Chains A and B, each alone.
Chain A
Amino acid sequence: MDSVITVEHLTKDYGEGRGIFDLSFEVKKGETFGFVGTNGSGKTTTIRHIMGFLKAQSGQVTVLGLDAWKDSPEIKKYVEYVPGEIAFPDLRDGTTFLKAQAELLGLKDTNRINYLVEKLQLDTSANLKRMSKGMKQKTAIVAAFMADKDILILDEPSTGLDPLMRETFIELLQEEKSKGKTIFMSSQMFDELEDVCDRVALIFDGRIIDIADMSEINNLPYKTFKVEFTTREDYLKFKRLKYEIVRDQEKYNQVTIKVYDKNLNRLFDTLKNYTLKFIAEVKYNLEKHFKEVLAKEYARLDAIKKEEEAHPKPQEELTRTEQKQIKREHKKEEKKENQSEKNEKFFNKPKVKAEKKEIKTHKKEAKKAEKQEKKEVDNV
């Protein structure tokens, strides 16, 4: 399969840790790629790069082999886009807007628009400014989908939709997917990503920390069950059997066990002889998966922090602003030195003053370093 969207080492640094850093992934033809992350983690920034609205600081984004920044207008021939922030042009109502959009796209056939409007139950005669969030979202979806192009880029497309409408929207997405379209969508709703996506990337603080394959998550070779026994004896007896216990809650006579599919029958055979209060399958889903990944990530970050506490930062890892400050100080010193040298040449004066100054600046630096250390400690 050809890759439709390729993102390679994409970096956009907005300073103070914000932005996206060294992002790499690719979306293959016909694939539905989900993009999930907390607020401000860089989802929209990535999408804006793909759309060619932002220029990459480093790295490259290509769509269908075309550079996303340089060939942006060419790419748009194949791309439909639902922006994350819905704001319409200054036009009267939905109909006017959709007509204007169709004109910009050069569309003459209104069948698809009518189909979409009907499907989403959209009232296009409503005033654009007075529309509710859901209605605006629906209008934006119609505006994007009406061109029937091959690539869909959707930035949180289901926000504001009521649960029923979200169902309809997912249906619509699946319809598009069945036509072989490539979909790239960001969302905060795990369930809708689970329903549509083939792969989902998790972005955290501007970095992709995991790309999950939905087929792997859905088709795990094992299941997890929570079992609670009525009597203490049964509970203890069961524990002695060789089942893999994930979680043990003695207080409630409860165990959570992991069972490979091939062993399922054996489990139920065993359980015939026990009095159960209940048995329930604990579903393993995307949300759970990412929670686990995130927990690991947090742990890793904690470890790094602790490490830093123990051993102060080496200079290479100082943040940009700190580096700049140091550079500035260096320059100042250089200037002073140069001047004092010149002075010497011209006036033959002893170097005492310059030396004093140097001593002073050294002291200052030492103080500053101390302060910075203190701050870091406080922050931690």
Chain B
Amino acid sequence: MFSKALFKQSMKANWVKWVSVTLSTCVMLAIVIIVLGNLGINDIRDSLKDVFTQADQESYLKENAVDGYELYLTSIELEGTLQSLDADMAQTAYGILINQYNTNKESYKTENNLEELDETALEEIRRDTATSIVTNPLIWGGITSQLGVSISQEQGIDFVMEIYRVYDNPVYTTSPTEPDFLTKFQNILRTSFLNYVYTSAYELNLSQEGSNDESATYSAEKMEELITNAMASYQVPEGEFDRTPYKESAMTGINNMLYDVTNYTYYNQLIAGGMEEEEATSTAEQYAVVVKVLSNTAISTYELWLDELGDVEGAQEQARTEACASITDQIPEKVSEALSELGNMDIYSLIIGSIFYRIAGLLLPMVFVIMTANGLLAGQVDSGSMAYVLSTPTKRRTVTVTQMTYLIVSLFAMFALLTVTSVIAVWISGGNSFAINYGQILLFNLGAFLTMFAIAGFCFMCSALFNRAKYSLGVGGGITIFSLVCTILGLFGSSVVPSAMRISAMNFFNYLSVITLYDTVSIMSGTLSYLWKFGILLAIGVVTFIIGGFRFDKKDLPL
């Protein structure tokens, strides 16, 4: 089934081709990975990405500043409301809230046959009760209008739950009939509000990137302190409440608070990142100043917009949006999308995966396979030199098995060398920290080998089917090159090309090419759909090799 002599002969006939194709492909690959890697072709992408992340951060920061500013002013107003609370009113409101809560607690106990309620059960009852109260427009509308503060439903639920938590705390246990009930109720509301401020500030900070419990606690404490001071600074106005006198202190307070929090958080991050203490201090301070300036700008802009829009309904919301707009909000949506896509695009995987491994890197091995596959059978039959092999006691099956072994082994050796080259090149370019890691580069090579295996099978089949080299080359080579050209054209319609340059109709060409089964995008993105496509490539190769082998056994040879 295998002839060593014939194998040697094939090697002698094709080694020059093999060496030149392998070397030039290796050099090409090394250049693509190393040289382009050092040129830093991803810099553009990174800087674009930076612009977008900065814009996002900026917008977020501004929102924080404006929200904090609003909260500051609201808290002063709330303090005013608290101080002017009517005792009867307070009794009624508190009564409604607490009665409902106690009723629910009792029914929960009987429903679940419980003597005592633990904290989780209590929390559940609190949420249910708060939700039922806040979502009932009759009750909640009454309470808020009595209190004279506007609170959204979500905030309202949190707030009411906070009131229940305080109520459950023995220190604050009170009953509406007690003589100093009003003061106690005021305290309960104040504490609930401050708790609410603390919790939301804590959670907001924690949701930020790079934050931890420590910095979140710091931020929440700062915020609580600021609001406590704000409420303490309330002075009973002559006539109606006016927020104007408090604006300046609100702005300064928020600016300073953001400065402190940023400085603290960033400093800790830098120290954790391994920076020297001194350097970290100055860097954090610089950054905090930037944040302070940003906050200042945002609040001023917000005030200006508020003045501009007048005191109409929704003006506040619009002013807030305008003040917090980032660069990306200002450019047209399509351009912004294209830019952000460009920012997210990995030029490395485009050039190495979709251009090198699927097109440039396949071209030379393809030429090698087309020529060699043709020369292994059809070429020798056409010229007549196959007669020398077949006039020895060599079976035709031995000839086909030996020749296909040569073709597969030479391809395998070629891609083994290519794999070694690519792994070394990736190692030089920074190993796993490089845009493409070792696993991906190995999969790229495996995929390229399987693609070439399928193509080799097809070319070999053509070589075995035809007695004429021109037909074998024409059909085998023609369809192979056609596939490559379709892949080149299809590239302009595929998802790897940024949408600004993409012509989606060109994607049609991808359906005409066998190389489409070599899914580099799937390898890069880490999905597994490349696996079954690899399977199909392998199957194509195996089937075509077998068809070629059987056909050659049975046909007439003009020797």
Contacts and interface: CB of A to CB of B under 8 A. Distances in A.
B344 interface: no
A53 B556 contact: yes
A378 interface: no
B339 to A, nearest CB: 56
7 contacts: A76-B392, A87-B385, A91-B13, A101-B388, A104-B9, A104-B392, A144-B391
A92 B12 contact: yes
B558 A48 contact: yes
B388 A74 contact: no
Contacts of A81: 387, 391
Q: Which of A48, A52, A53, A92 has the most CB of B within 10 A?
A: A53
B13 A89 contact: yes
B384 A85 contact: yes
A217 interface: no
Contacts of B5: 100, 103-104
Contact of A76 (B3, B12, B391): B391
B394 A89 contact: no
Contact of B9 (A54, A80, A91, A144): A91
B6 A53 contact: no
B443 to A, nearest CB: 36
Interface in B1-44: 3-6, 8-9, 12-14
A121 B4 CA distance: 30
Q: Which of A79, A89, A92 has the most CB of B within 10 A?
A: A89
A260 B277 CA distance: 133
Given A73-B393, A92-B12, A104 B6 contact: yes
Interface in B500-559: 554, 556-559
A147 B391 CA distance: 11
Given A76-B392, A76-B394, A87 B556 contact: no
Q: Would you list the 8 A-B pairs with minimal beta carbon distance, nearest first?
A: A103-B5, A81-B391, A87-B383, A90-B13, A87-B384, A53-B557, A83-B387, A76-B393
Contacts of B12: 91-92, 96, 100
A305 B558 CA distance: 33
A73 B387 CA distance: 12
B447 interface: no
B8 A100 contact: yes
Interface of A: 48, 51-55, 72-74, 76-77, 79-81, 83, 85-92, 96, 100-101, 103-105, 143-144, 147
A286 B388 CA distance: 32
B389 interface: yes
A245 B91 CA distance: 161
Nearest to A54: B556
B375 interface: yes
Contacts of A80: 391
Contacts of A54: 556-558
A316 B6 CA distance: 50
Contacts of A90: 13-14, 375, 385
B390 interface: yes
B558 A89 contact: no
A53 B559 CA distance: 7
B393 A53 contact: no
Contacts of A72: 390, 395-396
A55 B384 contact: no
Given A53-B556, A96-B12, A100-B8, A86 B393 contact: no
Contacts of A100: 5, 8-9, 12
Query: How many interface residues does chain B have, given as a range?
Result: 20 to 34
B419 interface: no
Interface in B266-302: none
A61 B25 CA distance: 51
Contact of B558 (A53, A92, A143, A144): A53
A294 B553 CA distance: 39
What is the predominant secondary structure among interface residues of chain B facing chain A? helix
B301 to A, nearest CB: 80
A379 B389 CA distance: 45
Contacts of B395: 72-73
A91 B380 CA distance: 12
A91 B16 CA distance: 12
A74 B393 contact: yes
B559 A101 contact: no
Given A92-B12, A100-B8, A77 B556 contact: no
B559 A104 contact: no
A100 B380 CA distance: 15
Q: Which of A74, A90, A104, A143 has the most CB of B within 10 A?
A: A104
A90 B388 CA distance: 12
A88 B388 contact: yes
A88 B556 CA distance: 20
Interface string B361-375: 000000000000001
A373 B104 CA distance: 114
Nearest to A92: B12
A76 B391 CA distance: 6
Contacts of B375: 90
A85 B390 CA distance: 14
A101 B9 CA distance: 9
A331 B270 CA distance: 92
A85 B385 CA distance: 9
A17 B334 CA distance: 73
B380 to A, nearest CB: 7
Nearest to B14: A90
Contacts of A77: 393
B394 A83 contact: no
A105 B380 CA distance: 18
B352 to A, nearest CB: 35
Given A92-B12, A101-B392, A105-B393, 20 more contacts: A51-B391, A51-B559, A53-B387, A53-B557, A54-B557, A54-B558, A73-B396, A76-B391, A76-B392, A80-B391, A83-B384, A83-B559, A85-B384, A87-B383, A88-B385, A88-B388, A100-B5, A103-B5, A104-B388, A104-B394
B384 A89 contact: no
B403 to A, nearest CB: 12
B388 A89 contact: yes
Nearest to B12: A91
A324 to B, nearest CB: 22
Nearest to A74: B393
B131 to A, nearest CB: 77
Contacts of A52: 390
Contacts of A104: 3, 5-6, 9, 388-389, 392, 394
A201 to B, nearest CB: 22
Given A48-B558, A91-B13, A86 B384 contact: yes
A52 B387 CA distance: 11
Given A80-B391, A100-B5, A89 B380 contact: yes
Q: Which of B3, B9, B387, B390 has the most CB of A within 10 A?
A: B387
A372 B286 CA distance: 105
Contacts of B387: 51, 53, 81, 83
Contacts of A96: 12
Contacts of B383: 87
A200 B555 CA distance: 31
A212 B360 CA distance: 66
A3 to B, nearest CB: 21
Nearest to A97: B388
Contact of A53 (B9, B390, B392, B394): B390
Nearest to B395: A73
A85 B375 CA distance: 18
Contacts of B393: 73-74, 76-77, 105
A81 B559 CA distance: 11
B392 to A, nearest CB: 4
A74 B396 CA distance: 12
B558 to A, nearest CB: 7
Contacts of B391: 51, 76, 79-81, 83, 144
A355 to B, nearest CB: 49
A24 B297 CA distance: 109
